[in-house]
């Protein structure tokens, strides 16, 4: 994929050893979603955050006001990643 021009790869629920091997062999970043601690970054669904900032898209309906709780969760997530307590071994295969 790298040789074909990919600028990054997303690994979802990939064993940590596989992610580590790919990171060591490739020159493009691997973004992990449940793929162990060696990925270059982690992914969360971006639509949720966009909705919190701009309001609901025209195709959606509001079912609750959860912006403050999502912000709190995002801060906890950031802290866990910065402190390297996430991802923990129980979070990936």
90 is a catalytic site residue: no
Higher-confidence position of 51 and 43: 43
Q: What does the chain look like in DSSP terms, one character per residue?
A: -TTTT-S-EEEES--HHHHHHHHHH-SS-EEEESS-TTSSEE---HHHHHHHHH---TT-------HHHHHHHHHHHHHHHHTT-SS-GGG--
pLDDT score of 47 more than 70: no
* Total-model pTM: 0.57
User: Which of 1, 2, 6, 12 does the annotation list as catalytic?
Assistant: 12
Rounded to an integer, the average pLDDT of 5-34 is 94
- Rounded to an integer, the average pLDDT of 60-73 is 79
């Amino acid at each position: 994929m790298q040789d074909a021009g990919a600028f990054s790869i997303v690994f979802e629920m990939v064993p940590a050893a596989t992610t580590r091997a790919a990171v060591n062999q490739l020159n493009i970043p691997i973004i992990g979603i449940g793929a162990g601690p060696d990925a270059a970054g982690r992914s969360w669904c971006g639509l949720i955050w966009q909705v919190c900032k701009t309001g609901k898209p025209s195709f959606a309906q509001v079912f609750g006001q959860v912006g403050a709780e999502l912000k709190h969760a995002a801060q906890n997530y950031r802290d866990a990643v910065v402190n390297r307590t996430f991802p923990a071994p129980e979070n990936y295969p």
